[in-house]
Structure 1
């Protein structure tokens, strides 16, 4: 997909969950559009990807507030003390099964994976953005807020949507925009770091297949999207072209509103 050279010239951006998938596609597009980018992930593969872009990287586990502080502090050090754009991309379903089959610790793990990194990293960067009275936070949500066999993940992404809408109201007086892109089913290269265990038997494979079928059936375009299509929407929301958009969750799911 076409990029817009110079769209982020002079801008400093941080992308979390940037070692692979949508996060890496966003980081690559921001760099191609002239942003100074820091990639954040807890996987060391982020170091290779950042080096390939000529960008900086920070290793941090964003499921903890300490990790989020490490990420933002490290990014500020690498970006000459300024962050203009934060893309909160950490998250993803760990298990795929009907809700009654989730153990309590699995439910907590899903929420820690897909809600808390966005809560923590936004909290860590907010004082900096308020002091500068500018900045944009783009949260990556999901149309799975209305879907089957990943209810804890759906609830976590619902929390991301609520955070986006409510924090936008608080942040607007400081010139800060808070927006989100709700990603639909997305075809991505094979993951170098797995989100969770592979299906163990035919029953678990059937549970996962039903997610895929429901996701496609719920779209108007009857297909999965691409990481490039997701990155294009996220980068639009992060850009000055979206300067009059805040508090909005943009579905990027082929017509599925989520």
Structure 2
């Protein structure tokens, strides 16, 4: 798949990208730099400093924060303002199923962990960025949701992403009169380099690996195209929605899953 870059599309814009140390977040943040933006790469993993150092760009700054706390989200937004003078665009990318298993096999604490991982960082970051967008007089928030609002073996994660969809629509309605857009993409399965930091630090049992393979097959079969997407295929719609080209789009959740609407 070709990778398009639109020179200067984000010139003069300050972006905060969360979950920017790897995967979709890293690809989005890197492309935004190439298109002229100034980007705060936010992640709770220290490796975010390594990836930013490799870019060797004055327009890329790393910041470590635990976005599962409101204090972490607020600190990230303050750092962007202190570093770049303001915020124009927030791209909320933190999230991801920690475990994949039938719902009846989840323990209570595991359910809590899925909600904390895949809903709260976006909820807190949206809340923390609003004062800075109000001060700017405009802004855009792009939430990375998921088409897994319909899928097997990850019901708590699905519930969290359903919450992000509701957040996107409700907040968009609330802040439209402040010249702020709130939109989302709903990615399907995506081919990406192996994660440097696994989502499940405990590792997966043989049974969990089998359940995960069930998910992989379900995702492929639910897609009209019968395949996973590429990173580039996920980055392009995220940055389109973040850009001024999408100035009359708000409250929308764009499925990016080969035809599977989730």
TM-score by length of 1: 0.98
Q: In the alignment, which residue of structure 1 is the partner of 2:65?
A: 60
**Partner SS state of residue 180, structure 1:** strand
Q: In the alignment, which residue of structure 2 is the partner of 1:77?
A: 82
Listed one character per residue, the Cα deviations across residues 118-175 of structure 1 (whole Å, up to 9, x for unaligned) are: 0001100001112222000000000000000000000000000000000000010000
Q: In the alignment, which residue of structure 2 is the partner of 1:136?
A: 140
User: Which is worse superposed, 94-103 or 66-75?
Assistant: 66-75
Q: In the alignment, which residue of structure 1 is the partner of 2:185?
A: 181
Confirm or deny: 8 A CA contact 2:87 2:136 kept in the other structure: no
Q: In the alignment, which residue of structure 2 is the partner of 1:20?
A: 22
Q: Does 1:164 align with 2:164?
A: no
**Partner SS state of residue 145, structure 2:** strand
Supply the distance in 1 between the matched residues of 2:210 and 2:43 (Cα, whole angstroms). Answer: 31
Supply the distance in 2 between the matched residues of 1:170 and 1:250 (Cα, whole angstroms). Answer: 20
Q: In the alignment, which residue of structure 2 is the partner of 1:37?
A: 39
**Partner SS state of residue 187, structure 1:** coil
Runs (4 or more) in structure 1 with deviation over 2 Å come to: none
Q: In the alignment, which residue of structure 1 is the partner of 2:113?
A: 109
Q: In the alignment, which residue of structure 1 is the partner of 2:12?
A: 10
Residue ranges of structure 2 left out of the alignment (5+ in a row):
none
Listed one character per residue, the Cα deviations across residues 172-217 of structure 1 (whole Å, up to 9, x for unaligned) are: 000000000101100000111111143212x222211110011000
Confirm or deny: 8 A CA contact 2:11 2:35 kept in the other structure: yes
**Partner SS state of residue 124, structure 2:** helix
User: Which is worse superposed, 89-98 or 44-53?
Assistant: 44-53
Residue ranges of structure 1 left out of the alignment (5+ in a row):
none
| CA RMSD in angstroms, aligned pairs only | 0.8
Across the two proteins, how many residue pairs are aligned to each other? 256
**Cα distance, 1:76 vs. partner?**
1.2
Supply the distance in 2 between the matched residues of 1:90 and 1:246 (Cα, whole angstroms). Answer: 21
Supply the distance in 2 between the matched residues of 1:215 and 1:182 (Cα, whole angstroms). Answer: 13
